[in-house]
Amino acid sequence: MPDNYDNFKCSFQFFTEKLKAEQSFTLAELSNYLGGSWKESTLRTYLSKKWRGLLIRVKQGYVVNAETFIYDEASYCRMMSQSRTKSEEPFRPELSDSIECLVEKAREAAVLAIDIYNRPMTVFRSQGFIVMMIIAWTSLLHAIFESGGVDYHYYNKDGQPEVIDGDHKTWELSTCIKHYTKISEAVKKNIDFFIGIRNKIEHRYAPAIDIAVFGQCQALLYNFETLLTREYGAYFSLNNTLTIPLQVIMARPAWQMDNMKKYQARHYKEIREYIEAYHSDLSDEVQASQEYSFRIYLVPKTGNHQTSSDVAIEFLKYDPKNPEQFQGLEKQIVAIKSSRTVQVANQGKLKPKAVCLIVEPRIGRRLNTTDHAKAWKYYNVRTKAKSADGCNTKYCQFDEANHDYVYTQEWVEFLVEKLSDDSEYAKVCNYKSRR
């Protein structure tokens, strides 16, 4: 005789077929479909309990209610279960305790990030958002690694676990995105951008960066929500707990202008140079991607008549491949973050100071231009003479017009990888070239 779980799956299949065919049925037909393992008396019990609202009584028997029968097989079986934990939250995925703890931590950190950002009087807006979203992303990727059986812990050279304050040391976010291959390059660049920003703002009071990183903040959140629901289902979606914040902006407000002035001031010079250097090294494809920086039009919408189905706000996702869809809207624009890219000479190439500004926050230790000079000498990527001869063009190229050298993104990644190691960093910084 089939057990209850088999009957759950069989009844789900029966209801799905009847709903698709738009057919009515009797309890006798359902009982026969189940092979008689559930008698009509049992089915009537389910009608008054589990199936209340799912089935509608009609003259010919019953029909499935398309508005309430929104289950897949797994969630339907959980709803039918005698376990209160499963039946009360049928859409909650069944996860191990360790994975569920990480997913919940990731979700709560993201909700806190949004709460910090959307509070009207918050000054520490972007900084708080970025710190909490770094935690959210780290926890989410740890959960995914845990689900896939990937060991995301650090080990010493002798194979023993690295321990910090009694806990096994786990991969930080920068290491996680190197090992996780199921996200695009634009998503990785967006995360990497904020790792550097987080390291720079950790010891700075810098609220004026809000204007400069808004699009990237929105993309960081959007990418997180996309990955969270893709891996663990709509149950954990942030959309279930959030609303669109009310806006009073009808023109560029005074605080925005004030922040723009502050952002240009000397106090923000280092952060501004990091942002500009990072952006200058991105490909056109990444810069144009909504996954790197989310761009929206916020447009006043007028309606001809009031109906319950009217929506006050609609988000029109910008597609750089189809700009025609926004023609005629420009005069209504309240705010738009421009994504125009101007082609320049040596695009994607970096001067030594720009290299330092990008590498330093990613390795979490000092790297000035003197250290950079020691690095190119230590790794022998160019000669001291101002000449193209002897250049390792993968990392360094001679700029003939300015009679100087520029460096590549490959050089940045090479330095990050090498100088993240304590002993290698010490060797480079203590290097003395032979005369």
Phi-psi region of 408 (alpha: psi -120 to 50; beta: other; left: phi over 0): beta
CA-angle at 43, arms to 42 and 48, nearest 5° = 100
Return the pLDDT at 312: 53
Return the pLDDT at 340: 42
Return the pLDDT at 273: 79
Residue 207 lies in a domain: yes
Q: H-helix or E-strand containing 193?
A: helix 185-201
pLDDT bucket at 12, cuts 50 / 70 / 90 = very high
What are 93's two structure tokens? Answer: 């995925």
Under 8 Å between Cβ of 148 and 164: no
Residue with tokens 């017009």: 401
Residue 344 lies in a domain: no
pLDDT bucket at 358, cuts 50 / 70 / 90 = confident
Last residue of a domain, one of 288, 309, 344: 288
Q: How far apart are CA 73 and CA 248, in angstroms?
A: 45
Asked whether the CA dihedral 376, 379, 381, 386 is positive or negative, the reply is positive
Do 182 and 265 sit in the same domain of this protein? yes
Q: Which residue has the higher pLDDT, 381 or 346?
A: 381
Q: Say whether pLDDT at 396 is over 50.
A: yes
> Whole domain around residue 405: which residue ranges?
352-429
Q: Which residue has the higher pLDDT, 386 or 189?
A: 189
Q: How far apart are CA 298 and CA 387, in angstroms?
A: 51
Residue 326 lies in a domain: no
Residue 333 lies in a domain: no
pLDDT digits (tens, 9 = 90+) for 203-223: 565 656 777 788 899 999 999
Q: Say whether pLDDT at 251 is over 60.
A: no
Q: Say whether pLDDT at 264 is over 60.
A: no
Return the pLDDT at 222: 92
Do 212 and 265 sit in the same domain of this protein? yes
Return the pLDDT at 288: 82
Under 8 Å between Cβ of 136 and 110: yes
Residue 300 lies in a domain: no
Residue 34 lies in a domain: yes
> What separation in angstroms does the CA of 186 have from each of 177, 230, 237, 250, 292?
12, 18, 22, 31, 5
- Give me the number of domains the chain comprises: 3
Question: Alpha carbon 301 to chain centroid distance?
Answer: 29
pLDDT bucket at 86, cuts 50 / 70 / 90 = confident
Using alpha carbons, select from 74, 14, 86, 81 the residue that is nearest to residue 46: 81
Do 283 and 143 sit in the same domain of this protein? yes
Which amino acid would we find at residue 357? L
Do 110 and 62 sit in the same domain of this protein? no
Mean of per-residue pLDDT scores for the chain: 81
Using alpha carbons, select from 355, 365, 373, 368 the residue that is nearest to residue 411: 355
Kindly tell me the burial class for residue 404, based on how many C-beta atoms sit within 10 Å of its own C-beta (0-12, 13-18, 19 or more).
exposed
Return the pLDDT at 250: 47
pLDDT digits (tens, 9 = 90+) for 141-162: 999 999 999 999 999 988 899 9
Residue with tokens 């700009």: 323
Model confidence pTM above 0.85: no
Return the pLDDT at 339: 40
Using alpha carbons, select from 347, 414, 343, 423 the residue that is nearest to residue 375: 414
Weakest-pLDDT range from 270-274, 333-337, 414-418:
333-337
Q: Say whether pLDDT at 252 is over 50.
A: no
Rounded to 5 degrees, what are φ and ψ at 360? -55, -50
Do 108 and 250 sit in the same domain of this protein? yes
- Give the mean model confidence (pLDDT) for residues 62-82: 91
- Give the mean model confidence (pLDDT) for residues 41-58: 92
What percentage of the chain exceeds 90 in pLDDT? Answer: 40
- Give the mean model confidence (pLDDT) for residues 117-133: 85
Residue 203 lies in a domain: yes
Return the pLDDT at 255: 46
Under 8 Å between Cβ of 353 and 371: no
Do 68 and 118 sit in the same domain of this protein? no
- Give the mean model confidence (pLDDT) for residues 160-179: 92
Under 8 Å between Cβ of 326 and 316: yes
Return the pLDDT at 2: 46
Return the pLDDT at 338: 40
What are 222's two structure tokens? Answer: 């959007």
Do 40 and 72 sit in the same domain of this protein? yes
Helix (H, G, I), strand (E, B) or coil at 33: helix
Do 262 and 369 sit in the same domain of this protein? no
DSSP state, 63?
E
Weakest-pLDDT range from 117-126, 250-259, 353-362, 378-387:
250-259
pLDDT bucket at 343, cuts 50 / 70 / 90 = very low
Do 181 and 63 sit in the same domain of this protein? no
pLDDT digits (tens, 9 = 90+) for 56-67: 999 889 999 999
Do 123 and 82 sit in the same domain of this protein? no
Q: How far apart are CA 249 and CA 251, in angstroms?
A: 6
Instruction: Provide CB contacts within 8 A for 335, sequence distance 6+.
Output: 249, 252, 298
Q: How far apart are CA 208 and CA 226, in angstroms?
A: 28
Question: Alpha carbon 299 to chain centroid distance?
Answer: 26
Q: How far apart are CA 364 and CA 199, in angstroms?
A: 7
Last residue of a domain, one of 60, 88, 116: 88
Helix (H, G, I), strand (E, B) or coil at 404: strand
Return the pLDDT at 313: 53
Do 212 and 356 sit in the same domain of this protein? no
Last residue of a domain, one of 65, 88, 111: 88
Return the pLDDT at 332: 45
Do 104 and 189 sit in the same domain of this protein? yes
- Give the mean model confidence (pLDDT) for residues 333-348: 47
Residue 247 lies in a domain: yes
Q: Say whether pLDDT at 188 is over 60.
A: yes
Rounded to 5 degrees, what are φ and ψ at 166? 85, -5
Q: Which residue has the higher pLDDT, 330 or 408?
A: 408
Q: Which residue has the higher pLDDT, 347 or 193?
A: 193
Return the pLDDT at 7: 92
pLDDT digits (tens, 9 = 90+) for 299-327: 555 555 554 445 555 555 555 566 565 55
Q: How far apart are CA 363 and CA 413, in angstroms?
A: 11
Separate counts of helices (H) and strands (E) for the chain: 17, 8
